[in-house]
Amino acid sequence: MTSRVTSSRLDAISPAKRALLAKRLAGGGRGHGAVGLPVAGAEPRPLSPDQKRGPLSFPEERFWIAYTFEDQSSAYHVPVTLHLRGALSVSALTEALRTLTVRHSILRTRYPLGPEGEPIAVVSDSGPVDLPCRDVAGDVWELLDRAAAVPFDLEVDAPIRTVLLRVSDDEHYLHLTLHHIVTDAWSTNILLQELTTAYTLHLRGERPRLPELTVQYRDHARWQRTQAEPFARQLAYWQETLGGAPSDLGLPTDRPRPTEHRPLVPGRCITTAIPAGPALQLARRTGATLFMVVLAAYSAVLGRRAGREDVVVGTPVAGRPDPAVDPLIGCFINTLAMRTDLSGDPTVAELLSRVRERTLHAYENQDVPFQQVIERVGRRTDGRKALFQAWLALQNVPDAPLEMGGLAVEEAADVIEATKFDLTFHLLPAGDRLELRVEYDTSLFDEESVRGLVEEFSAFLTAAEADPDRRLSKFATHTSDLEVLQWR
**DSSP states of 398-454 as a string?**
PPPPP-BTTBEEEEE-PPP-EESSSEEEEEEEETTEEEEEEEEETTT--HHHHHHHH
CATH for 233: 3.30.559.30
Residue 47, pLDDT above cutoff 60: yes
pLDDT at residue number 33: 32
Residue 386, pLDDT above cutoff 60: yes
Alpha-carbon distances, residue 379 vs 76, 233, 259, 312 (angstroms): 20, 21, 15, 15
Whether residues 109 and 165 share a domain: the answer is: yes
Indicate the residue among 193, 224, 255 that finishes a domain: 224
Residue 27, pLDDT above cutoff 50: no
Whether residues 70 and 167 share a domain: the answer is: yes
Which helix (H) or strand (E) segment holds residue 364: the answer is helix 348-364
**According to the per-residue pLDDT averaged within each range, which of 24-33, 262-271, 316-325 is highest?**
316-325
C-alpha span between 192 and 409 (Å, rounded): 11
Strands 53-54 and 265-275, bridge-based pairing = unpaired
Nearest by Cα to 417 from 155, 140, 157, 77: 77
Q: What is the mean pLDDT of residues 317-329?
A: 93
CATH for 186: 3.30.559.10
C-alpha span between 227 and 213 (Å, rounded): 23
Whether residues 220 and 233 share a domain: the answer is: no
pLDDT at residue number 51: 83
Strands (E), 180-236: 210-211
Q: What is the mean pLDDT of residues 414-431?
A: 85
pLDDT at residue number 256: 92
Confidence of residue 2 (pLDDT cuts 50, 70, 90): very low
Whether residues 245 and 286 share a domain: the answer is: yes
Counting the structural domains of the chain, the total is 2
CA 467 to chain centroid: 34
Residue 184, pLDDT above cutoff 70: yes
Alpha-carbon distances, residue 130 vs 64, 91, 152, 307 (angstroms): 25, 11, 16, 55
Whether residues 115 and 235 share a domain: the answer is: no
Structural domain includes residue 450? yes
Structural domain includes residue 353? yes
Indicate the residue among 224, 249, 268 that finishes a domain: 224
Structural domain includes residue 4? no
Confidence of residue 71 (pLDDT cuts 50, 70, 90): low
List pLDDT tens digits, range 440-450.
Answer: 999 999 999 99
Alpha-carbon distances, residue 106 vs 182, 187, 332 (angstroms): 6, 11, 12
pLDDT at residue number 331: 96
Question: What average pLDDT does the chain have?
Answer: 85
List the domain range (segments joined by +) for residue 159.
Answer: 11-224
Structural domain includes residue 155? yes
Whether residues 106 and 42 share a domain: the answer is: yes
Whether residues 168 and 150 share a domain: the answer is: yes
Whether residues 265 and 301 share a domain: the answer is: yes
Nearest by Cα to 399 from 212, 227, 189: 189
Which residues are bridge partners to 5 per DSSP? 412
List pLDDT tens digits, range 156-169.
Answer: 999 999 999 999 99
Indicate the residue among 224, 256, 280 that finishes a domain: 224
Whether residues 271 and 192 share a domain: the answer is: no
Residue 301, pLDDT above cutoff 90: yes
Q: Report which of residues 398 and 177 the model is more confident about.
A: 177
Structural domain includes residue 2? no
C-alpha span between 277 and 272 (Å, rounded): 16
Q: What is the mean pLDDT of residues 391-406?
A: 82
Alpha-carbon distances, residue 123 vs 56, 156, 159 (angstroms): 12, 11, 11
Q: Report which of residues 400 and 363 the model is more confident about.
A: 363
